[in-house]
Amino acid sequence: MKKLNIGLVGYGFMGRTHSNAFTQVNNFFDLEYRPVLKAVCARDAEKARAFATKWGYESIETDWRKLIERDDIDVIDIAAPNNVHAEIAIAAAKAGKMILCEKPLALNGPEAEKMVAAVTKAKVPNMVWYNYRRVPAVTLAKQLIDEGRLGKIFHYRAKFLQDWTISKDLPQGGAGLWRLDAKVAGSGVTGDLLAHCIDTAMWLNGSIDTVTATTETFIKERKHTLTGKVEKVGIDDASLFLARFSNGSLATFESTRYARGHKALYTFEINGEHASIFWDLHDLHRLQYFDHRDQGAVRGWRSLHITDSDHPYMKNWWVPGLQIGYAETFIHQVADFLQGLSKGKIPGPSFKDGLATDYVTDAVLKSAKTRRWEKVKKIK
Q: Is 319 exposed, middle or buried (0-12, 13-18, 19+ CB in 10 A)?
A: exposed
Contact call for residues 247 and 206 (beta carbons, < 8 A): yes
Q: How far is the CB of 32 from ligand SOE (least distance, A)?
A: 29
Give 5-68 as a 3 state SS string. EEEEECCCHHHHHHHHHHHHHHHHCCCCEEEEEEEEECCCHHHHHHHHHHHCCCEEECCHHHHH
Minimum CB distance to ligand SOE smaller for 331 or for 341:
331
The residue with its CB nearest to ligand SOE is 192
Distance between CA atoms of residues 122 and 145, nearest Å: 34
Distance between CA atoms of residues 304 and 289, nearest Å: 7
User: If you count them, how many residues does the chain have?
Assistant: 380
Q: How far is the CB of 64 from ligand SOE (least distance, A)?
A: 20
Minimum CB distance to ligand SOE smaller for 38 or for 196:
196
Minimum CB distance to ligand SOE smaller for 264 or for 346:
264
Question: Which has the closest alpha carbon to 315: 11, 30, 21, 14?
Answer: 30
Distance between CA atoms of residues 40 and 24, nearest Å: 17
Q: How far is the CB of 68 from ligand SOE (least distance, A)?
A: 25
Q: How far is the CB of 279 from ligand SOE (least distance, A)?
A: 14
- Residues lying near ligand SOE in the complex (CB under 6 A) are found at 162, 192, 196, 264
Q: How far is the CB of 185 from ligand SOE (least distance, A)?
A: 9
Minimum CB distance to ligand SOE smaller for 17 or for 126:
17
Other CB atoms closer than 10 Å to residue 300's CB: what's the count?
A: 9
Minimum CB distance to ligand SOE smaller for 102 or for 336:
102
Minimum CB distance to ligand SOE smaller for 196 or for 224:
196
Q: How far is the CB of 257 from ligand SOE (least distance, A)?
A: 8
